[in-house]
Structure 1
Amino acid sequence: MSNVSAAPVGRSLFFLIVAGVAWGTAGAAASLVFLVSDLGPLALSFWRCAGGLVLLLGALAVRRRRSPLVSRTPRAAEPRRNRLLRVLATGIGLTVFQSAYFAAVEATGLAVATVVTLGAGPVLIALGARLALGERLGRGGILAVGGALAGLAVLVLGGGGATVRPAGVALAVLSATGYAAVTLLTRWLGRAGGGADAMTTSTWAFAVGAVGLLPMAAAEGLLPHTAEPAKVLVLLVYVAAVPTALAYALYFAGAAVVRAATVSVIMLLEPVSAAVIAVTVLGERLTGATVGGTLLLIGAVAGLALAEARDAGARGAGVRSAGVRGADAPSAGARGAGASGTGAPSGPGEPGASAPRRRAVRAR
């Protein structure tokens, strides 16, 4: 019987909903910054990384103070080389993801940039997992990839030059590539064994991003020229605090309890909320082709999530049936072993029961 009560699950679902909506406001805040100042996407990404780093370090300190035993919990040791690779690659991927996304928002608008980034990301992950990791795509995955490509084609070819700009779409796809690369690396390192706390990794990845972005942001212009400095300051603080520090903290807390497929579907609130803000607040106009392409992309992501849920259910049924085959059932001493069969419980960094949740982790 599961020890997870309805209360933690309900609270975790609420955390994920808030995180998804908060992430959807990041691009809106960026659009407002671009409207009232000359701050560029690289400088905005730097301030997001730097501010988010400070706040996440504070969140980690609070977590350690409230739960001192968390840091002492036994975890499969990750080799130092893998740990360094994880942090550096996550930081670089995060930098590409954020900077290209903000540039896409500036080029083609909030709604299209967000939908293309978040629609193409899971599809690139599915293709990359098939080509680089040998994971089976499946019929559902193939249909989802086809739907996503069709959605992108409709957006680019039928959106109209006034609302959809190919350069902006290309930047959004580049952003999705950065996100996909981080996710695929996380899977590959997870197969190699070893554990890694997702929130800690993301915190240090923000440090890598801030250091890497500093020279480029300085060349672009770190300090904005604006007639409304107070408004720009409030927006920068908001970007660092709400869709970065708060959203990441809530996401990791919720994703630790809720199934990965459910997480993926809830995260569709991000492009939906971004599109609503784009139309109602920023006055962006969406053509019929833009709406159609958006629905195709969102449907593709939902299809991938459902396909993963079916695969996870099939794997779970196989494990349960294997456990009732009389002489083949594991002994009492073996029942505590992780999915890797080493006798140690599967940690967050191992390819065990937590792997589906790890796949849902984003590098917003």
Structure 2
Amino acid sequence: MSIVRTTPSSGVSFLVAAGILWGTGGLFGRMLGDATGLSAAAVATYRLAVGGLLLVAYLLVKGAPLPRSRTAWARIAAVGALAALFQVAYFTAVSFTSVSVATLVTIGSSPVLVLIARPRSADRRGLVAVGLALCGLVLLVGVPADGGPSAGAVVAGAAFALVAAAGFTVMSLLGARPVPSLDAMTTTGIGFTVGGALLAPLAVTTSGLAFAPTPTAFGLLLAFGLVPTAVAYTCYFRGLRTAAAGVGVLMALLEPVTSAVLSAVLLGDRLGASGIAGGLLLCGALVLTAGVPRRAAPGQRGERTS
């Protein structure tokens, strides 16, 4: 047995790592869909299932014990259901509107939902950070162009994006309340495996789950399940042990920043002046947020692992 010390500053570091790794998700998801012809629902299903199963396999090889308490299994089931809700609601929002609108509403509303859920935790610095984040997100992601989706489609897409944001927010609030004897890797691995199983029937009704078994497809599937899913979410839940949920959802803003940079470098997309300004505002919000980590509760400063 060994003890890993988790301090507030290390918690923020884990959240930063999660946000950056999430930024690769859009790129891997897009490439996987193009290579296999899978629908958005099927891609989301594979993301959760592969990421979860990779972690479960690691835990089995490591010989980690399964959770035994009802509280632990209830948390795992909740994480799986919320992850499935978040994924399917987000991609449904994308189908009604666009990636930019769905991302803007989902990620932009999450910090606001945290403030609504925990108004007493809000201070002037946090409110300034949320304001900068929302302005930066609008500039970075952009607004819908003329000739885009109809007003009805935008409203429907925004509604599903709010559902996605609510799922992510509740998952973050739960993650900020650790369950004794349940670590981040077990929560993510078993929870996401459950989430993938919940999404599988929906994926079958769209494109199905079958695809041509090429080396490229398998490589993308493995990378998609490992980097922005298994590793990123393990870092996220680990970081939430000593950093407030509001810090966590704001650190998620690193995802569109990283995604925009990768798209510019690898896909040739141009950020433009507004995109660069938005990225700088988001970075400013993240700097403000990183300076106010949550105090660790007594007995939660160390995480025991085997």
Do they superpose with TM above 0.5?
Answer: yes
Q: Percent identity?
A: 35
Map Cα deviations across residues 161-205 of structure 1 (whole Å, 9 max, x no partner): 179975777655543322111122344x55xx7553222122221
Contact persistence 1:96–1:178 (CA under 8 A): yes
2:60 aligned partner: 61
The aligned amino acid for 1:159 is V
Shift of 1:150: 3.6
Taking structure 1 as reference, are residues 186 and 16 closer, same or farther at Cα in structure 2, changes over 3 Å only? closer
Contact persistence 1:147–1:300 (CA under 8 A): yes
Shift of 1:240: 1.4
Separation of aligned partners in 2, 1:268 and 1:83: 29
Separation of aligned partners in 2, 1:19 and 1:244: 9
Shift of 1:29: 0.9
Shift of 1:283: 3.3
The yes-or-no answer on 1:108 pairing with 2:98 is: yes
Contact persistence 1:128–1:184 (CA under 8 A): no
Q: How does 1:25-40 map to 2 (within 5 A)?
A: 25-40=24-39
Taking structure 1 as reference, are residues 293 and 239 closer, same or farther at Cα in structure 2, changes over 3 Å only? same
Larger radius of gyration: 1
Separation of aligned partners in 2, 1:170 and 1:284: 28
> Any idea what SS the aligned residue of 1:216 has?
helix
Separation of aligned partners in 1, 2:30 and 2:62: 33
1:92 pairs with one of 81, 101, 107 = 81
Taking structure 1 as reference, are residues 201 and 184 closer, same or farther at Cα in structure 2, changes over 3 Å only? same
TM-score (norm 1): 0.62
2:143 aligned partner: 159
> Any idea what SS the aligned residue of 1:284 has?
coil
Unaligned runs of 5+ in 2: none
1:238 aligned partner: 223
Separation of aligned partners in 1, 2:16 and 2:286: 17
1:260 pairs with one of 236, 243, 260 = 243
Taking structure 1 as reference, are residues 249 and 61 closer, same or farther at Cα in structure 2, changes over 3 Å only? farther
Contact persistence 1:27–1:105 (CA under 8 A): no
2:194 aligned partner: 208
Taking structure 1 as reference, are residues 59 and 31 closer, same or farther at Cα in structure 2, changes over 3 Å only? same
Separation of aligned partners in 1, 2:136 and 2:14: 30
2:260 aligned partner: 275
1:50 aligned partner: 49
Map Cα deviations across residues 27-69 of structure 1 (whole Å, 9 max, x no partner): 101112333443112111111222122211122123336xxxx
Taking structure 1 as reference, are residues 303 and 104 closer, same or farther at Cα in structure 2, changes over 3 Å only? farther
Q: CA RMSD in A?
A: 4.5
1:179 aligned partner: 168
2:123 pairs with one of 138, 147, 152 = 138
The aligned amino acid for 2:145 is G
Taking structure 1 as reference, are residues 231 and 172 closer, same or farther at Cα in structure 2, changes over 3 Å only? farther
Map Cα deviations across residues 338-358 of structure 1 (whole Å, 9 max, x no partner): 73xxxxxx24xxxxx57xx9x
Q: How does 1:115-126 map to 2 (within 5 A)?
A: 117-126=106-115
Map Cα deviations across residues 123-168 of structure 1 (whole Å, 9 max, x no partner): 43233222xxxx3311112223333444455568x63517997577
Contact persistence 2:203–2:209 (CA under 8 A): no
Taking structure 1 as reference, are residues 125 and 112 closer, same or farther at Cα in structure 2, changes over 3 Å only? same
Separation of aligned partners in 1, 2:202 and 2:264: 32
Map Cα deviations across residues 85-130 of structure 1 (whole Å, 9 max, x no partner): 3222211211123334455677634x77667654543443233222
Aligned residues: 291
Contact persistence 1:114–1:274 (CA under 8 A): no
> Any idea what SS the aligned residue of 2:171 has?
helix
> Any idea what SS the aligned residue of 1:220 has?
coil
The yes-or-no answer on 1:284 pairing with 2:273 is: no
1:333 aligned partner: none
Contact persistence 1:27–1:114 (CA under 8 A): no
